Every structure is written in C-alpha cells, then in structure tokens.
Amino acid sequence: MQSIDAIKPIKIHVLPAGPNPWKPVLILEELGLPYSLNFISFEDVKKKPFTDINPNGRAPAIEDPNTDLTLWESGAIIQYIISQYDTNHILSYPSYALKETHLCNQWLAFQISGQGPYFGQAAWFNVLHPEKLPSAIARYNAELKRILSVLDGALEGRQWLVGDKMTFADLAFTVWNDRIEDLILCEKEKKFEGFPNVQAWHERMTSRPAWKKAMEKREKLMDEHGLLPNGMPKGFKSHGEFHASVEAKRKAEAAEVKE
Amino acid sequence: MASEEPSIVLYTTQTPNGIKISITLEELGLPYKVQKIDISKNTQKEQWFLDINPNGRIPALTDTFTDGKTINLFESGSIMQYLVAQYDKDYKISFPPGTREFYEMNNWIFFLNAGVGPMQGQANHFTRYAPEHIEYGVNRYQNETRRLYGVLDKHLSSKNIPYLVGDKCTIADIAHWGWIASAGWAGIEINDFPALKAWEDRMAERPGVEKGRHVPDRHGIKDLLKDKEKMEKHAAENRAWVQAGMKDDAEKHKGKK
Ligand SMILES: N[C@@H](CCC(=O)N[C@@H](CS)C(=O)NCC(=O)O)C(=O)O
Ligand SMILES: N[C@@H](CCC(=O)N[C@@H](CS)C(=O)NCC(=O)O)C(=O)O
C-alpha cells in the first residue's frame, strides 16, 4: 500500500456554494488525504476550459496526478477515492465483505439519485425561483420529508446505514441534510422534526473534526471570493437578484459571440 | 443445473428504470425470475416490498449471496454495479475494476442516475402528470433534459465513439437507453440530437436490449408516441396513480410525533 506521504495532492474543483463538491472533500478529510481546492465560479462552470474537464459543466470534478485520471459526478468520485485510497477500510468494508460493500454502494446511489436531485428541486422552488408556485413547492417538500423518513426507518435501532461503522455512504448524506433549513426555509432547530434517528446520526457525523475542517475550508474559500456563507455574493439582496445578474451577463456574452 | 430455480429475482415494472436491469440480465445471459410490481396499485408501498426496498420504488432485486443468505438490493445504479461485479467475469458489458474505463463507466452511470433520470422524470411529471399545468415547470425540466442530452450527443460525436465508454457497450449505455428511448414522452425531440439518436438505434439492435426491454410487459413507448389519443389515455391513467401516490406519501412521511 502507498504511504500517504507519497501521494500527491488530488486537485478538486469546487463551486463552493453548492453542496455536492463538499461530499468528496469530506471523504478526503476523513481519510486524511492530501488535496487542493480549485475554486470555480458560477459564471465559469458551464464554459471552457472547465467543460473540458467536465462536459456536464458541474462541480465537483477531480484531477488525480497520482493516476492521471480526471473524473466527475460526485458519486463516481467517491467510489474512486474509496477503492483507490481507502485500502485500510476506514470508511468502507474490505471487498471480501461483499454484502456490506454493495449495500454501501446502494445507499450512495440513493443519495445521488434520491436525496440530491429532490432536495435541490425543493431549494429551487422555495428559494431561488422568483415566482411562488405552491403545488411545485408542496411536491418537493413532501419528497424531502419522504426521503428523511426512509433514512429514519433505516436507522431505527442502529448507528450507521451499513453494519456497525461509519462509511462513505453515511457521510454522503451530510452536506444536503445540513442545510435543510436553507432549502425549505424552516427553523434550523426544526429541520429534523419527526426524524430523531436522522438527527442523531447527522450530529454524530458533523461533530467530527473532519466535518468541521471541511466546513472551515468552505467558508474561507467563499469569503476569499466574496461570497456569504449561504452562497450569495456580498452586495446582492437576494438570490433572485444575483441570478438575474448572472443571466444578464451570460446573454450579453452570447450576443457578443454572435456578432 | 438447468432445472434449478434461478437465484435472482427482479421486482420491476415496464419503466425506464426497470428495463435497465432486465436488459443487463439478458446481456449477461443470467437466469432470473421476474415479479411484476403494479405501481398503479401501490404494490411498491406494501410492507413486504418495503422490507426489500425501504424506498418503495422499483427496480429491486434479490439474490442468493455467496454466504448462502439472501441479499436485497435497490437503486438501479447499484443493482447494475452489483450484477457486473458478481457475474460479469469476462467483462462483456463492463471493464475490470481499477481501470480508467471502469471509472469512466461509473461516471456515466452516476450522470444518468443523478441527472438524466431525475430531470427527465420531472419533465414527465410537469408535462404529463401534474395536477395543474405549470408552464414554468414544463420548461425548466425539458430544458435541463435537453441540456443533458446535449452533453451525451456531444460526447458521442466529438469523440466519434459508438458507445459511451468507447467501443464496448457497457452498463453505462444500458442505464441510459430506456430514458432516451422515451424522450418523446417528456416532450423532447430526439432527432435534435443526431449522434444520440444513432446510438439509440445501435443499442436497439442488440439482442439483449430487444429481449430485456419487454420485461415485465411489452415495451410500448415507441408505438405510444405515434398515437396521440393513446398517449393521452396513458397519461391520464398514470396521472391518477402519481397524484394518489404523492398525496399518500405526503400524509405518511410527515415524521414521527
Ligand atoms: N433512483 C431510482 C429511481 C427509481 C424510480 O423512480 N422508480 C419508479 C418507477 S420508474 C417507481 O418505482 N415509482 C413508484 C412510486 O414513486 O411510488 C433508481 O434508479 O432505481
Ligand atoms: N412519486 C413519483 C412517481 C413517478 C415516478 O416514479 N417516476 C419515475 C419514472 S417511472 C421517475 O421520475 N424517476 C426518476 C429517476 O429515475 O430518478 C413522482 O411523484 O414523481
């Protein structure tokens, strides 16, 4: 096995306001692996040169100089980091524990295709979209609760999703769960109301040094780039105002290209 | 051997997410039993099924595991990864773990499961099933689906490759096929994406795809899309269960008191 000192820092591209980039960062922190953060702005993420790294124009993406691999999609990145670097199985099970291995992947798949997209849509209709559409808000708020209830049921009588230790599957859920109050605009203390198992599980993970370190890095990076902790650039009054300005800039640029 | 019961049971419905798994099983030539789940009757919310998949969605799969006990799996992406890890020893539709191609394959599976599936699913919702017509919702999700189709189209055409990870059809392609084949249902014109359309046709010629797509019922989406009247009837039937399901979910999952 490679010694940690011999590993060159993994470059990870982050759009710091978004939750998804911090999933792999948290995993890297928990494993104590070296990495460097590269800031991508909201304006640059859908443009070259970043789209040469991720044709889907989304963060995160990684470039690993140790293997010369470029990869995007947070779930695929997490599986890669685990299989390549978690050789001591700090956050995973050894491959001979086949059942646990596959169950970890199952919960990760649920995170990326269940929690992520639906929590994201809840945020869109509650916060970002200027017009209030009650039936769309109700749809995604209900889905958010449904997903919390699936997790709460799975955690009944246990500490972790798979077996008796914390794995990457547990950690993958933290970043979205941590900001529920900003997604559906509820009180912070009430975000897990009715889901005590989820709350205790979430706090077990966010009280760890790795989580705190990752979030400190996030705040620092945001601050350096003039962003408030909620993702809004300093100087804008609302997300709506900010998005309108980005949209206007994009249109102006597109018009320039055409001329 | 031949008389033995297959150890794999697939719980499924005729939907894009369901046929991913039956196509994977056919491509691998594995024996399996099918148990049809009637989502219009909310069978997926019955306790025996929730014991297999607490998320109450199809597909789910059970298998006799190497330790002789049953393993329950859900989430189409992880089921596909499981099937190739356990059974694709000759790498017919996958790549050896640890190779660059292996990670790229997984990259596209996540792209489908976190991107195309949920977004095209929302486009279906606002285009066909929503309780009221919200033009904004229709546009938002159709546009995002089109953007994602554009990423696929450009990837295939600029690299001039027949499949998503090069020359070999893998589970990454299989994951996409059912969704791309039903583009029209979400209001997306597939002919706007010529490389993707050519890929769809290429996939359709594979015997495994042809066999697997008709599980548990005939794959009727192509015929449906040709017939406006049938389309409206089908949408109305689905609208009823989607809306009933949404109401039910909202009631049930408010959280513990
Ligand atoms: N991310 C899941 C999505 C599964 C899914 O959306 N299944 C639908 C059918 S295509 C379902 O079972 N819906 C039933 C319901 O919502 O009650 C996967 O890939 O397996
Ligand atoms: N409860 C779902 C029922 C509809 C459903 O399950 N649709 C499936 C397709 S059959 C879907 O959109 N899946 C999204 C995905 O696969 O991520 C809803 O209200 O949207």
Partners of A73 on chain B (C-beta within 8 Å) are 106-107, 110-111, 114
The beta-carbon neighbor of A133 closest among B106, B109, B136 is B136
Nearest CA in chain A to B126: A136
Question: Which tokens sit at A62?
Answer: 């990684």
Domains of chain B: 2-87 (3.40.30.10), 100-212 (1.20.1050.10)
Nearest CA in chain B to A54: B151
Domain that holds residue A54: 4-91
Nearest CA in chain A to B63: A99
pTM for the model stands at 0.90
The beta-carbon neighbor of B111 closest among A73, A121, A152 is A73
What local confidence, expressed as pLDDT, does residue B126 receive? 97
| Cβ density class B206-231: b for 16+ within 10 Å, e for less | bebbeebbebbeebebeebbeeeeeb
Q: Compute the distance between CA of residue A249 and CA of residue A88 in angstroms, rounded to an integer.
A: 48
Partners of B71 on chain A (C-beta within 8 Å) are 99, 102
Of B204 and A242, more confident: B204
Cα A112 to averaged position of ligand 2 atoms, centre (Å): 14
Last residue of a domain, one of A71, A91, A111: A91
Look at the alpha carbons of A229, A233, A237, A238 in this order and tell me if their dihedral is positive or negative: negative
Q: What is the mean pLDDT of residues B8-24?
A: 98
Last residue of a domain, one of A91, A116, A132: A91
**Which residues have a Cβ under 8 Å from the Cβ of B22 and sit 6 or more positions away?**
B10, B12, B32, B34, B212, B213, B215, B216
Q: Which of A251, A243, A249 is nearest to A124 (CA)?
A: A243
Question: Which tokens sit at A111?
Answer: 């995170």
| Cβ density class A40-63: b for 16+ within 10 Å, e for less | bebeebeeeebbebbbbbbbbbbb
Q: Could you tell me if residue A115 is inside a domain? A: no
What local confidence, expressed as pLDDT, does residue A254 receive? 67
Q: Could you tell me if residue A56 is inside a domain? A: yes
Is B175 touching A (CB cutoff 8 A)?
no
Which helix H or strand E contains B218, and what residues bound it? none
Cα B74 to averaged position of ligand 1 atoms, centre (Å): 10
What separation in angstroms does the CA of A158 have from each of A166, A179, A198, B59? 11, 23, 11, 26
CB B150 within 8 A of CB A55: no
Q: Is the CB of B255 less than 8 angstroms away from the CB of A152?
A: yes
Q: Is the CB of B55 less than 8 angstroms away from the CB of A114?
A: yes
Lowest mean pLDDT among A196-200, B118-122, B239-243: B239-243
Q: Compute the distance between CA of residue B74 and CA of residue B80 in angstroms, rounded to an integer.
A: 10
Q: Compute the distance between CA of residue B120 and CA of residue B166 in angstroms, rounded to an integer.
A: 25
Lowest mean pLDDT among B63-67, B102-106, B202-206: B63-67
CB A177 within 8 A of CB A198: yes
Q: Compute the distance between CA of residue B64 and CA of residue B104 in angstroms, rounded to an integer.
A: 29
Q: Could you tell me if residue A249 is inside a domain? A: yes
Smallest Cα distance from A216 to chain B, Å: 27
CB A225 within 8 A of CB A39: yes
Chain position carrying tokens 């297959």? B6
Instruction: Please tell me the total count of domains within chain A.
Output: 2
Q: Compute the distance between CA of residue A34 and CA of residue A213 in angstroms, rounded to an integer.
A: 13
CB B110 within 8 A of CB A73: yes
Q: Compute the distance between CA of residue A137 and CA of residue A139 in angstroms, rounded to an integer.
A: 5
Q: Which of B100, B163, B154, B94 is nearest to A54 (CA)?
A: B154
Chain position carrying tokens 């939750």? A19
Look at the alpha carbons of B11, B15, B20, B25 in this order and tell me if their dihedral is positive or negative: positive
B70, β-bridge pairs:
B64
Q: Could you tell me if residue A103 is inside a domain? A: no
Residues of chain A predicted below pLDDT 70: 1-2, 237-240, 242-243, 246, 250, 254, 256-259
A11, β-bridge pairs:
A36, A63
Cα B17 to averaged position of ligand 1 atoms, centre (Å): 7
Nearest CA in chain B to A149: B253
Which helix H or strand E contains B10, and what residues bound it? strand B9-12
**Residue nearest (by alpha carbon) to ligand 2 atom 2:** B242
Cα B80 to averaged position of ligand 2 atoms, centre (Å): 19
Q: Compute the distance between CA of residue B255 and CA of residue B257 in angstroms, rounded to an integer.
A: 6
Partners of A106 on chain B (C-beta within 8 Å) are 73-75, 78-79
Partners of B250 on chain A (C-beta within 8 Å) are 138, 142, 145-146
Pocket test for ligand 2, best of B12, B38, B122, B124 (most atoms within 8 A of CB): B124
Would you give the DSSP letter of residue B163? B
Q: Could you tell me if residue A185 is inside a domain? A: no
Q: Is the CB of B154 less than 8 angstroms away from the CB of A55?
A: yes
- Residues found in chain A: 259
CB B169 within 8 A of CB B177: no
Q: Is the CB of A76 less than 8 angstroms away from the CB of B110?
A: yes
User: What CATH number has the domain bearing residue A68?
Assistant: 3.40.30.10
What local confidence, expressed as pLDDT, does residue A74 receive? 98
Last residue of a domain, one of A40, A66, A91: A91
Q: Ligand 2: residues within 6 Å at CB?
A: A 113; B 15, 17, 117-118, 121, 124-125, 242, 245-246
Pocket test for ligand 2, best of B111, B122, B242 (most atoms within 8 A of CB): B242
Q: Is the CB of A135 less than 8 angstroms away from the CB of B132?
A: yes
Q: Could you tell me if residue A161 is inside a domain? A: no
Q: Count Cβ atoms below 10 Å from residue A82 Cβ, excluding itself.
A: 24
**Which residues have a Cβ under 8 Å from the Cβ of B112 and sit 6 or more positions away?**
B77, B172, B175, B176, B179
What local confidence, expressed as pLDDT, does residue B1 receive? 42
Cα A255 to averaged position of ligand 2 atoms, centre (Å): 37
Q: Is the CB of B110 less than 8 angstroms away from the CB of A143?
A: no
Task: Convert the pLDDT of each residue in A52-87 to its tens digit.
Answer: 999 999 999 999 999 999 999 999 999 999 999 999
Q: Compute the distance between CA of residue A56 and CA of residue B147 in angstroms, rounded to an integer.
A: 9
Q: In three state form, how does the secondary structure of chain A look?
A: CCCHHHCCCEEEEECCCCCCCHHHHHHHHHHCCCEEEEECCCCCCCCCCHHHHCCCCCCCEEEECCCCEEEECHHHHHHHHHHHHCCCCCCCCCCCCHHHHHHHHHHHHHHHHHHHHHHHHHHHHHHHCCCCCHHHHHHHHHHHHHHHHHHHHHCCCCCCCCCCCCCHHHHCCHHHHHCHHHHHCCCHHHCCCCCHHHHHHHHHHHCCHHHHHHHHHHHHHHHHCCECCCCCECCCCCHHHHHHHHHHHHHHHHHHHHC
Of B67 and A163, more confident: A163
